[in-house]
Amino acid sequence: MKILIVDDETLARERLIDLLNEDEPSYQCLQASNGVEALELIQTERPELVLLDIRMPVMDGLELAQHLMTLSGPVPAIVFTTAYQDHALEAFENNAIDYLVKPIRKERLMRALDKASQLGQAKLETLQHIDTESRSRQHFSASIHGKIILQPVQEVAYLKAEQKYVTAHWPGGEMLMDESLKSIEAEFNDRFVRIHRNTLVAIDAIRGLEKDDEGNSVLLLRDIEDKLPVSRRHLAGIKKLIK
Amino acid sequence: MPEKTETSTSFLPDFCNARMVFVIILLAELLAIVLALAQPAHVQDRLFSLALYSMFIQCISITCAAFLCIFRGKLNALPDNWAATLSFVLIMVIAFTFIELSWWMFSRWSVVDSSLGAHWGFVLRAMGITAISGALALRYFYVQHQWRRNVELESNSRLDALQARIRPHFLFNCMNTIASLTRRDPGKAEQAVEDLADLFRASLQDSHRLTTIENELALCHRYINIESLRLGDRLVVNWDIDKLDQQAVIPSLTLQPLLENAIYHGIEPRAEGGDITISGETENQLSRITISNPLETGERMLHTKGNHLAQENIQQRLQALFGKNASMTISEQEDQYRVTITLPVQANENIDR
């Protein structure tokens, strides 16, 4: 069995490797120190099981699990590891997705392994219920040719809805995502502001407001040429924000 | 939680509550009994006067309770002294109404001497009793409320202090590290257990304990030893304390929690880690110690929900010990977060080491 161990602490990873090897030396253990590295390895190495720490820099375990939902093809089973009861984890109490508390006991780890191999694929859908409530992702993701592409949320200048897709724009790039503007607005309500029925703009990317040739208000952005129309409905709010 | 604080800060109890009504009835009846017993010996029908007193006092007290129940929300919005004054006035007005009413009834039935002097004498005596017993009752509620609040505050602050000192994440991650080291490097595991024990011993001691800066820095070293095991080369600590008078007094656990904050907020969220600088100098009998950590520039930090509990706690303790000679300042500049504490140099005569 191929197992990916994701934890930002080297000693925590080594402990898991020790415990796994003690049980079955034939396990093939891979290591990653954060969610972004893990996502890369999951796509190239296709491990069957991921032992995933919740709290990590760059991208934490819960966010990685969220991005994995968009992965096409087999999704690895996930067992979360955590130092202390996280509220977010309570959602999994009775679910296929297991979690282990540190220091991890060998028996408990073995039980989780059994559970994971029995179930084959973990049901990641439950993650959808917790994602928007109290936490927001650090990355947007899109699946392109079966590969997940990540884009740090803080670099995104604006998001525009076109038909059923949303396009994220940032200086020097854009990405088509299978998400709704409404859910993004709800998740990142302190970062993006709505300026039009189909546009969200990053508050800190706003440079100024001006009128175009026809007298309509358009928003100017930092480091990006596009001028975005502001609807009359949102104009007052935007003016207030700029002040 | 807002509901809970509402009830705990208000000094008037909930008079709509059945238990409270029972307490009121009981107190009123006790007053009636006292009054009946205090009657001069020649009064024949003591039981009759008890019945009369009971009815009279119960009517007043239950009406008062009803009105206080209705106006409780409004009264509790006021400062305690205003709420008390208004409640007292309310009680007096209600009592006066009943007293006048009963006088009017008695004089109609002609059971009493209806002269003007007798009337006012009756009113004054009755109002006097009402004023004294009303004030006593309000005082009783106030004292009981204060007592309950003190108990609550004390237990809360103890809990807060404990949680500020021991982060569960730190504790369990540390245990996990030690579990890992016992296999790979027992020597380091031993060291880690010793460091952790010292850290906990310091944490469990009285929070008002004093120590020397030297001891406090030694504790910081132990803490850094543990964190270095977890974070590896992501954590770099720079010391610049040559000019610091290390024999001066400092409240125990002043620097270590600040260092813990610096690592928790400044190093852990960064994949590449960073530098923490501890610098200090003593000049003109004033020591200044600064702990700085890289500031996460990203939109969402890993641990944004710092509640500043540790910082508040430290500031309070510094203030309590040194008054306005000590201070704690926080600054954010050039992607560095800095906490500086300033404290006067005080000799360390009475310190238990």
Of B338, B343, B164, the closest CA to residue B250 belongs to: B343
Under the banding of pLDDT at 50, 70 and 90, the label for residue B240 is very high
Residue B333 has pLDDT above 90, yes or no: no
> How far apart, in Å, are the Cα atoms of A42 and each of A9, A45, A240, B52, B148?
19, 5, 45, 88, 57
- Distance, in Å, from the CA atom of B316 to the CA atom of B310, rounded to the nearest integer, reads 10
Nearest-CA residue of chain A relative to B174? A103
| A242 CB within 8 Å of a chain B CB | no
Considering only residues B299 and B195, tell me which one the structure prediction assigns the higher pLDDT.
B195
- Distance, in Å, from the CA atom of B308 to the CA atom of B330, rounded to the nearest integer, reads 11
- Distance, in Å, from the CA atom of B165 to the CA atom of B161, rounded to the nearest integer, reads 6
Nearest-CA residue of chain A relative to B267? A57
Residue B196 has pLDDT above 90, yes or no: yes
Within 8 A of A83 by CB-CB distance, chain B residues are 168-169, 171-173, 176
pLDDT, one tens digit per residue, over A194-226 is: 999 999 999 989 998 888 888 888 999 988 888
The count of C-alpha atoms lying within 13 angstroms of the C-alpha of B244, restricted to the half-sphere facing its C-beta, is 23
Using the structure block, give the residue that is written with the tokens 């106030």: B142
At residue B279, the pLDDT reads 95
Under the banding of pLDDT at 50, 70 and 90, the label for residue B49 is confident
Report the predicted TM-score, pTM, of the whole model to 2 decimal places. 0.66
Residue contacts between A and B (CB atoms, under 8 Å): 76
> How far apart, in Å, are the Cα atoms of B24 and each of B14, B66, B93, B246, B274?
11, 11, 18, 62, 65
| B175 CB within 8 Å of a chain A CB | yes
ipTM exceeds 0.95, yes or no: no
Residue B301 has pLDDT above 60, yes or no: no
At residue B3, the pLDDT reads 34
Q: What percent of chain A has pLDDT over 90?
A: 32
> How far apart, in Å, are the Cα atoms of A92 and each of A3, A22, A79?
21, 28, 11
- Distance, in Å, from the CA atom of B10 to the CA atom of B142, rounded to the nearest integer, reads 9
- Enumerate the H helices of chain B as residue ranges: 2-9, 18-37, 46-76, 80-109, 116-165, 168-184, 186-204, 213-231, 255-261, 309-322
Look at A18 and B180 and tell me if their CB atoms are within 8 Å. Answer: yes
Provide mean pLDDT across the span A89-106.
71
> How far apart, in Å, are the Cα atoms of B156 and each of A182, B167, B205, B228?
41, 17, 18, 33
At residue B8, the pLDDT reads 42
